[in-house]
Structure 1
């Protein structure tokens, strides 16, 4: 239901309009306080925060020894969960107590607290720099997608702080953000072995510190999602299946089921993996059965999902329909991307237009193709998304207007031969991440549906 203030005041004549603001604030505070009490045991930071409050209350009452005993317990709990910011607050309060009140006879107490404080500050500084780098790389990807050219590669190289990254770390968060930085870097430049290696390290880190799965569940979920993506990109089907089964088992656990954020995150990543499984297997038509379920989930979680996630799903839906031969339905989803004016994932904007163009080609909409060719070419050039692969596709489509059906096959074969030579060139192969142009060309040459071509390859590879 929508909040209707006028209706509320009419139904509660004893409440004046000027009182309502304070009443709402009070109610909001009570709800948050209740949620904090209910969820406290689920969140280590809430537990630590409460214990720190208790230690401060005891200190303010002059009960210094009791306060220090609680601070010792907080330290142990914070260390077990690698919560450096809380450790720093504990040390700060310990120093305050030791400086203002004589509580212990240890002569080296001041030196120990000084060393502890310096060590925590150093770790926090490094963690901050590494988390900044991981976030910068991820933001770069959200804006641009995969590296497009030499200029992008040089820009990414400048971002990578080699001295910071080449240092060996023992702390949980330093290692986590270091692995994430390499993970995003490998993914963006399409070095999928590097991407896989650091995704695996990311997930293994949580296996090494299982208590952190509950503390940093969102990071663990994202790690599994990226590991699934790495297996998908490397076409490592067996490992993909194993990881997917493990992920599904984890989703059934209380740590996910009792947390709304975790439920939303796992919904997005599980459905992404399920679609990718159909892409790998060449079962596009079967994959279409997922679309209504996912769309219902997108509607349910609409206010919690960012536009990037929705764009990616629309592109995956369009690809499923295209692979199934339902080009008109594919165009419907591609139009949603094309008409959605958002300043992110320019790569998706470009390849949605290219797939849209190819779908119209498949439908034989020749009256539209000439206009679309010029429009898509201009857009991709403006976005610096034109590599040799795209140039060759545009060149073929321009020539196809003049060719009879009998003349087309040799031109398909010629284009296929050119693109296969570029398939393993990291910069030139960027297009293959978004469009399986090779399989589409093979389907045209062999006279088979595109999903059958992909299915045959999958069965041959998994024998």
Structure 2
């Protein structure tokens, strides 16, 4: 898990691959004057450390305490320069900027024709890749050069540059408006969660319409269309409107499939689009389309032509294993799914500095739910405890549903030694929630009374709670709550005295018939 208090230089050094370390040493020794440079000694010392220890660096007289900060900053910069030169980190954006830098150097030397030739070629590439920000910078430099280097074609060139500049300015305006809207909606989802009433819905709708009505979709290029689809996905996520979330998530991914060259330029957004598409297919429960889309995603991101780096590996890891576990959940194959957990945890350890704690907590909740379905209730409670015991800033809904899962596991296992105490702490947690609602309070009331009832009374209590859950399921604002943990399926399994897996399999058959 990424920890902000960790030393940035230490994390960067530890992230380097063997080939990157080798290239760094070749880079700093290229002139033969850095063999004993202090920053290289610092690099070697940090490379050997398991945990960052500043006192060890000072004791070995690599640096004084007063000089260490500057030495670390210098080493950090040199590593970044070395990485920038590494072919594995080259992408179209870096290459375009490199060409722009070359043109600037030629211009400063007074070699105008050479600079203009590079700029024209680079501009065409930037426009093809829809890199309008770089294209705009190129046109600005072309204007500067053309105003100093007089040619007979200046009149035509001036008109052409004005037209291109005006068009790119409009496109950048669209991109700014849509990216601002998308970011605002994403922020709403992270900070306040899904809309819980008509007032919240109207507030989001007003925000959305104020921006989206200014946009003419037919005039959008690739990047603006991408932001357009993102905005619609996040708006419909907030509304829990899965039909339209699916529609725009599909259009998001399909935009890349229609423009495959853009996958290389924007691999992160290709992965993110698939993440939302696969997630919404899981919520729909359509296992056939989910599995086929999952196969297509894996084939694409593991193909030889797909960009590979640490950031993308962590995103692919999250999408792959979250979806794989979701497939096991939909099918009710908890025993098979639980066998994945050691493999997932091993990869989590390797990526701990690249993934934020919230995503790790989601994985732990799925592991806990997988163990619950496998009837390994002790393990389910243990993994759930990782979440409620975390010091990370975990979403309230995630913490609440984790607590519900613990109560379900305690009930099923008969491990009720601290059941009442845990109920009290959960009740206190609900009272402190920013937006507690009826579902939260009724769930606590149900579990609170359960332990004191006779078996017959418990069955009656399950029936009454099932009726309440049916009403919650019909309410669009509660729908999401019933999907974190399938408490409704568990309640039905207790009423019918069957395994919860049977309830899940019935749902899958129903979805396939539809």
- In the other structure, the counterpart of 1:341 is 391
Aligned partner of 2:500 in structure 1 is 450
CA distance in 2, matches of 1:397, 1:431: 17
Match for residue 167 of structure 1? 216
The answer to whether the 8 Å contact 1:232/1:240 transfers is yes
Contact kept, 8 Å, 2:181 with 2:208, in 1: the verdict is: yes
Identify the residue that residue 186 of structure 1 maps to in structure 2.
236
Q: Structure 2, unaligned stretches of length 5 or more?
A: 1-47
Q: Deviations over 1:409-446 (max 9, x none)?
A: 23322322332233132112232121212210111012
**8 Å CA contact retained: 2:287, 2:508:** no
1:128 aligns to 2:181 (yes or no): no
CA displacement at 1:210 relative to structure 2 = 0.9
Is the Cα–Cα contact under 8 Å of residues 88 and 120 in structure 1 kept in the other structure?
Answer: yes
Q: Which digits, 9 at most, give the CA deviation of each residue in 1:206-246, with x for residues without a partner?
A: 11211110000010011111110111111121110111101
CA distance in 2: counterparts of 1:381 and 1:189, whole angstroms: 25
Query: Who is 1:395 aligned against?
Result: 445
Greater Cα shift, 328-337 or 364-373: 364-373
Given that 1:142 and 1:344 are in contact with CA atoms closer than 8 Å, whether structure 2 keeps it comes out as: no
Pair 429,108 (structure 1): closer, same or farther in 2 beyond 3 Å: same
**2: distance between equivalents of 1:379 and 1:20?**
45
Q: For residues 316-359 of structure 1, give each alpha carbon's deviation from its aligned partner in whole angstroms, at most 9, with x where no partner exists.
A: 11111122222221111222211223334221122212222232
Question: Is 1:329 the counterpart of 2:376 in the alignment?
Answer: no
Question: In the alignment, which residue of structure 1 is the partner of 2:105?
Answer: 57
Report which stretch shifted further, 254-263 or 445-454: 254-263
In the alignment, does 2:140 pair up with 1:92? yes
8 Å Cα contact 1:324/1:451 also seen in 2: no
Q: Distance in 2 between matches of 1:5 and 1:407?
A: 63
Among candidates 247, 250, 256, match of residue 300 of structure 2? 250
Q: Provide the TM-score with structure 1 as the length reference.
A: 0.91
Contact 1:43 1:215 in 2 (8 A): yes
1:378–1:239 Cα change, 3 Å: same
Q: Contact conserved, 1:130 with 1:181, CA < 8 A, in 2?
A: yes
Structure 2: how far apart are the matches of 1:28 and 1:396?
56
Which residue pairs with 2:9 in the alignment?
A: none
1:268 equivalent in alignment to 2:318: yes
Number of the residue aligned with 1:148: 196
For the 8 Å contact 2:178–2:211, the answer to whether it is kept is no
For residue 405 of structure 1, what is the aligned residue in structure 2?
A: 455
Distance 1:255 1:409 in 2: 57
The reply on whether 1:75 has 2:123 as its aligned counterpart is: yes
Q: 1:314 to 1:105 in 2, by over 3 A?
A: same
Distance 1:155 1:104, change over 3 A: same
Q: Is 1:44 matched with 2:92?
A: yes
CA, structure 1 residues 429+450, in 2 after alignment: closer, same or farther (shift >3 Å)?
same
The aligned length equals 462
- The secondary structure found in structure 2 opposite 1:428 is coil
After superposition, the Cα gap between the structure-2 partners of 1:58 and 1:324, relative to the gap in structure 1 and judged at 3 Å, is: same
CA contact (8 A) 2:285 2:508 kept: no
SS at match of 1:429: coil
- Residues 84 and 90 of structure 2 are in contact (CA less than 8 Å); yes or no, is this contact kept in structure 1? no
Structure 1's unaligned 5+ residue stretches are none
CA distance in 2, matches of 1:224, 1:373: 39
Distance in 2 between residues matched to 1:388 and 1:74, nearest whole Å: 59
> What residue in structure 2 maps to residue 434 of structure 1?
484
- TM-score (normalised: structure 2): 0.82
Deviations 1:188-223 (A, max 9, x none): 221001110010010011112111100000100111
Residue in 2 that maps onto 1:424:
474
1:280-295 matches, cutoff 5 A: 280-295=330-345
Question: How far is 1:381 from its partner?
Answer: 3.9
Q: Is the 8 A contact 1:314 1:337 kept in 2?
A: yes
User: Would you say 1:298 and 2:348 are equivalent positions?
Assistant: yes
Which residue in the other structure is 1:235 paired with? 285
Native 8 Å contact 1:144 1:347 kept in 2: no
Alpha-carbon distance, 1:161 to partner: 3.9
Contact 2:337 2:370 in 1 (8 A): yes
